Structure 1
Amino acid sequence: MTILTTSTAVIQSNIDRAGQHIFAIFPDADTAGFAYTIGNARLGLPELLIIGNFAPHLMASVLNEVGRRMRQADQVPDKDIDIGGAFPIRPRLAGAAARSAFTIQVGRFLGHEEYAVVQLLLPDPMGLYPGEARCDPRYDVPRP
């Protein structure tokens, strides 16, 4: 997996303009793609993470909408989130493994690893979420 770095100035500019910056990592033969935010932790809120081989524009749209709502409410998402799709998005508090395996640039930007991550789970076409029985394996992503 190749991870390109983005300058701190670009990240900060995006945070200033949009409230958060989004990193999208494309999949390779061994690893699913994922996308996550930077900027919410400075407000005392969690960063957001989506894991799965979804279209980058879909992941960015979901992260932007959920991030916007979270910042407006100044509240961590803790129940299913309806953003107009066939099924809601399910948030879950991720563990420390999410920081070390997925949201690496957040720690580099902040200069520490003391931040929370909420993983946003997207359902399969039948409405089953990762970890649920009979969830389509293409959607049954890691839940660090």
Structure 2
Amino acid sequence: MDNALDFYAAIDRNIMRTGQHLMAIFADGDDPAFIYTIGNALQGLPELLLVGNFDRAVTGTILNVLGARMRAERQPLEGDLEFGAAFPARVRRATAAAKQRFTIQAGRFLRHEEYDVLQLLLCDPAGVYPDEPECAPGFDVPLA
């Protein structure tokens, strides 16, 4: 992309086509990879965030499926969500600090910071979620 205008135009095209844009950030040193949505706030809904060094195709699919569900139901996701995968995802409200750390391009695209972020947590193969005792390494991601 030649400049910031092209970058934000591509985000806008994705939102118009699918309802949201996905922004994937690679891991950097001790900081895990993460992926988040841009565009749900345009419909008065929270953006979605998934933190962890998981396969981008898998996390992208999860965000696309759950983002589409949220937009269809016109209400924020909550609780433990079944979505056709082997394990459910758990929803938690992200902190304001996490919003600044993880979803900065959403605020820049929207041109304001008046949006909420929901973090989606994936359980390990034993069904244990991050921040629970004995969560498997790789699944025990930072709570945003």
TM-score range, shorter chain: over 0.9
Q: What secondary structure sits across from 2:112 in the alignment?
A: coil
> Aligned residue for 1:120?
120
Q: Which amino acid aligns with 1:19?
A: G
Q: Distance in 2 between matches of 1:124 and 1:108?
A: 33
> Aligned residue for 1:29?
29
Q: Distance in 2 between matches of 1:123 and 1:82?
A: 12
**TM-aligned CA deviation for residue 83 of structure 1:** 1.1
Q: Which runs of 5+ in 2 are unaligned?
A: none
Q: Which amino acid aligns with 1:103?
A: T
> Aligned residue for 1:107?
107
**TM-aligned CA deviation for residue 137 of structure 1:** 2.5
Give the alignment's TM-score, normalised by structure 2: 0.94
Q: What secondary structure sits across from 2:45 in the alignment?
A: coil
Percent identity, aligned pairs only, is 53
Q: Distance in 2 between matches of 1:34 and 1:5?
A: 24
Bigger fraction of residues in helix: 2
Matches within 5 A, 1:60-99: 60-99=60-99
The C-alpha deviation readout for 1:6-58, integer Å capped at 9, x for no partner, is 71110000000000000001112221000000000011000000000001101
Q: Which amino acid aligns with 1:23?
A: M
Verify: 1:135 aligned to 2:135, yes or no.
yes
**Alignment root-mean-square deviation, CA:** 1.5
Stretch deviating more after TM superposition (90-99 or 67-76): 90-99
Q: Distance in 2 between matches of 1:87 and 1:55?
A: 15
Q: Which amino acid aligns with 1:83?
A: F
Which 4+ runs in 1 deviate beyond 6 A? none
Q: What secondary structure sits across from 1:7 in the alignment?
A: helix
Number of matched pairs? 141
Q: What secondary structure sits across from 2:126 in the alignment?
A: coil
Q: Which amino acid aligns with 1:39?
A: G
Q: What secondary structure sits across from 2:92 in the alignment?
A: strand
Q: Which amino acid aligns with 2:104?
A: I
The C-alpha deviation readout for 1:105-132, integer Å capped at 9, x for no partner, is 0010011111000000001111100011
**TM-aligned CA deviation for residue 5 of structure 1:** 9.8
Q: Which runs of 5+ in 1 are unaligned?
A: none
Distance 1:81 1:6, change over 3 A: farther
Q: What secondary structure sits across from 2:81 in the alignment?
A: coil
